[in-house]
Amino acid sequence: MGHSHTHNSSHSHNHNDLKGRNLFISILLNILITVSQVIGGLVSGSLALLSDALHNFSDVISLVVSYAANRLSKKQASIHRTFGYKRAEILAAFINAATLIIVAVLLIIEAVKRFQNPEEIKTGLVIWLSFIAIIANGLSVLLLKKDSKSNMNMKSAYIHLLTDMMASVAVLVGGLLMKFYQIYWVDSALTLAIAIYLIWMGYDLLKNSTKVLMLFTPNTIPLKDIVNQINAFEPIKNVHHVHVWQLNEEEIHLEAHIDFNENITLSQFDTILHDIEDLVFEKYHINHVNIQPEYSKNDAKDVIVQD
Topology at the third CATH level for domain 2-213: Alpha-lytic protease prodomain-like (1.20.1510)
CB atoms within 10 A of CB 252: 22
**According to the model, what pLDDT value does residue 8 have?**
46
pLDDT 10s per residue in the chain (307 long)? 665 554 444 455 556 667 788 888 888 988 988 888 788 878 876 666 676 677 778 778 888 888 888 888 888 888 988 888 988 989 998 998 898 888 888 878 877 887 777 666 566 777 888 888 889 889 989 988 888 888 888 888 888 888 888 878 877 887 788 778 877 677 677 778 878 888 888 899 899 999 999 999 999 999 999 999 999 998 999 999 999 999 988 899 999 999 999 999 999 999 999 999 999 999 999 999 999 999 988 877 777 776 6
**According to the model, what pLDDT value does residue 9 have?**
46
The residues of the chain that CATH labels 3.30.70.1350 are: 223-294
Which has the closest alpha carbon to 128: 210, 10, 33, 200? 33
**According to the model, what pLDDT value does residue 1 have?**
63
**According to the model, what pLDDT value does residue 229 have?**
95
Domain 223-294 carries which CATH code? Answer: 3.30.70.1350
**According to the model, what pLDDT value does residue 5 have?**
54
**Sheet-wide strand order for 288-294:** 2-4, 288-294, 252-260, 236-246
Rounded to the nearest 10°, the torsion over CA 97, 163, 130, 145 is 100
The residues of the chain that CATH labels 1.20.1510.10 are: 2-213
- Chain-centroid distance of CA 230 in Å reads 32
Q: Is the pTM of this model over 0.85?
A: no
**According to the model, what pLDDT value does residue 34 have?**
86
> Any bridge partners for residue 2, and if so which?
290
Q: Specify the 3-state DSSP secondary structure of 292.
A: strand
